[in-house]
Amino acid sequence: ALYFGIKASKAKGGIMVTASHNPPEWNGLKICDSKAGLMGMGLGLEKIKEIVEQGKFKLVGNGKVIDSKHLLEEYADFLLSKVDISKGTRVVLDPGGGSSAVLARKLFERAGCEVYVINEEIDPYFRARSPDPDPDNLEELKEEVLKREAVLGIAFDGDGDRSVFVDDRGRGIQGDVALAVYVRHYLKGKEGAKVVYEVSCTKAIEDVTREMGGKLVMCRVGHAFLMDLMLKEKALLGGEISSHFYFGDAGIYSDGLFAGLRMLEVISKEGRLSSLVDGLPKYFSTPIITVFVPDEVKFKLVKEAGLVVKEKGLKTLEIDGVRAYTKEGWFLIRASNTKPEIKIRAESTSEEGLKNLFGEVTKVIKEAASKLGVKVEAPKWRYKKT
């Protein structure tokens, strides 16, 4: 809604008070420019930081306050104008006590859906569930989807810019897998259309995009960077494993409500989400695995890991950390931008290959830490057959 409001009112920028999925005692600001693009470090936020630190504020004249009460209704109208959903489609929504509860039920009812909602009451303490929805939990939503025989369950994060899906069989769907579903539908008849995805995403996105005649643009992790690339590349679709989704054809980016409407549109046209997911290229992946590494060490460790990987003669990409390719698949080692952690993910075409890749990435981290003379806890992960 913030991005829409900036464009609709032709504002110079916009600010949202949010700490997204952080604990309730946290707070922060999401700052946008006049194009509704997010301002992150390297994307204009560093200039604001410099002004604040130096205290060099320039008076640019008086502004004005605009009554924006009408914007929410206009926003809903705009979203609904961009989708075509079969009437009576049964959906379960889970705002999780977050801000999307303000509009979610009304919006999906206006779309003609049969709507069921759990955790609808706004709760700044997020007592019903974590404001950071994870496909591997969401048990209440999964049970409700099966109970209601719904075609889709949608869990929104705390500030409503992400949506995690549960299919008609009660399975949580990872964000990168959902992006592959979008790609197969929305790239039909659009050869050459671009898809932006981040470095930790499944290879299924690459397979499906090439199958549909699209072009791939890989990006570093972080929705400010992905949104910036979406605009620069004039991409049709974009997405992250974290379930941020971007729709260039509609000019709507990182909007959980719209992503949910769009997934219902896909289901209306293509059939059950479970079948669409099962029809994607099959890979075996770890989740995002986190390992504590102090802030002053994490970037050095990832850089050293890149050198270790190159010494082994592996092909690498260094868009964000190091993504290394072997005969069995790929693995990623990158530093978190916000926490004292490194992030790891691996993917293979087989269960055995995935186990081997995890063993390989563990060795790389151990060797890199040894060369730096630091101690780092070994990554923890156990394969679960699905």
| 72 contact partners, CB below 8 Å, separation of at least 6 | 1, 102, 103
CATH number, domain of 104, equals 3.40.120.10
Same domain assignment for residues 94 and 208:
yes
Q: What is residue 376's three-state secondary structure?
A: coil
Same domain assignment for residues 164 and 292:
no
Same domain assignment for residues 184 and 103:
yes
Of 69-78, 192-201, 203-212, the range with the lowest mean pLDDT is 69-78
Residue 7: per-residue pLDDT? 79
Same domain assignment for residues 267 and 296:
no
Evaluate whether 14 touches 36 at the Cβ level (below 8 Å).
yes
Same domain assignment for residues 249 and 303:
no
Kindly state the average pLDDT of the residues 51-63. 83
Residue at a domain's end among 278, 310, 327: 278
Count of CA atoms in the C-beta half-sphere (13 A) of 142: 12
Residue 35: per-residue pLDDT? 75
Residue at a domain's end among 278, 305, 324: 278
DSSP 121: S
Sheet holding 172-173, edge to edge: 114-117, 90-94, 152-156, 163-166, 172-173
How many angstroms separate the first and last alpha carbons of the chain? 37
- Token pair of 79 as six digits: 């979203």
Q: Is 383 inside a domain boundary?
A: no
Same domain assignment for residues 298 and 266:
no
Same domain assignment for residues 170 and 310:
no
Same domain assignment for residues 107 and 221:
yes
Kindly state the average pLDDT of the residues 292-297. 96
Number of domains the chain contains: 2
Q: How far apart are CA 360 and CA 332, in angstroms?
A: 11
- Token pair of 108 as six digits: 């999906």
Q: How far apart are CA 115 and CA 379, in angstroms?
A: 41
CATH number, domain of 329, equals 3.30.310.50
The 10s digit of each residue's pLDDT in 64-85 is: 777 777 888 999 999 999 999 9
Residue 386: per-residue pLDDT? 52
Q: Is 31 inside a domain boundary?
A: no
Task: Give strand pairing partners of 216.
Answer: 195
| Domain range enclosing 311 | 284-372
Q: Does the pLDDT value for residue 148 go beyond 90?
A: yes
Same domain assignment for residues 213 and 81:
yes
Residue at a domain's end among 251, 278, 305: 278
Evaluate whether 342 touches 290 at the Cβ level (below 8 Å).
yes
CA quadruple 372, 375, 381, 382: dihedral sign? positive
Same domain assignment for residues 90 and 175:
yes
The 10s digit of each residue's pLDDT in 300-327 is: 999 999 999 999 999 999 999 999 999 9
Residue 385: per-residue pLDDT? 62
Residue 42: per-residue pLDDT? 79
The 10s digit of each residue's pLDDT in 270-290 is: 999 999 999 999 999 999 999
For the entire predicted model, the pTM comes to 0.90
Same domain assignment for residues 188 and 293:
no
Same domain assignment for residues 132 and 232:
yes
Q: Is 20 inside a domain boundary?
A: no
